[in-house]
Amino acid sequence: MIATILIGLVALIHVYIVVLEMVLWDTPRGRAAFGTTPEFSAATKVLAANQGLYNGFLVAGLAWGLWLGEAGFGVKVFFLLCVLVAGLYGAATASMRILYVQAVPAALALLALWIGI
């Protein structure tokens, strides 16, 4: 039950990231979230949308795993590991904030899933 809630939370975080990257990137809200300038956000809008699409695939995988219920254990593990690795990479290369927004929630969900709570 706790694992399901945490996985749902990770999925919702990524829905928000998808919206930020695909819809709001070149707006004041998107620029504030990522600390970019109007010039940078305008120049990288297409790249951000592509990145948002990939985050959408993470959402789809997590939702699929939740929909499968107990039978989706492997799917949930796979997609949580993908989120965790992406979060660790983002923290190492872009911003330490990504560690707390993306990697820590994924790690907690993964831990809860593995211990069966």
Q: What is the pLDDT of residue 87?
A: 96
Residue 51, pLDDT score: 95
Sign of CA dihedral 44, 62, 2, 81: negative
Residues 6+ apart with CB under 8 A from 51: 21
Global pTM value: 0.93
Provide the residue type at 83 as one letter: V
> Is 86:102 a contact under the CB 8 Å cutoff?
yes
As a whole number of angstroms, the distance between CA 16 and CA 28 comes to 15
Res 111: pLDDT: 98
Q: In the predicted model, what is the mean pLDDT of the chain?
A: 97
Do the Cβ atoms of 79 and 62 come closer than 8 Å?
A: yes
Cβ 55 vs Cβ 18: under 8 Å: yes
Encode pLDDT of 41-56 as tens digits: 999 999 999 999 999 9
% of the chain residues with pLDDT over 90: 100
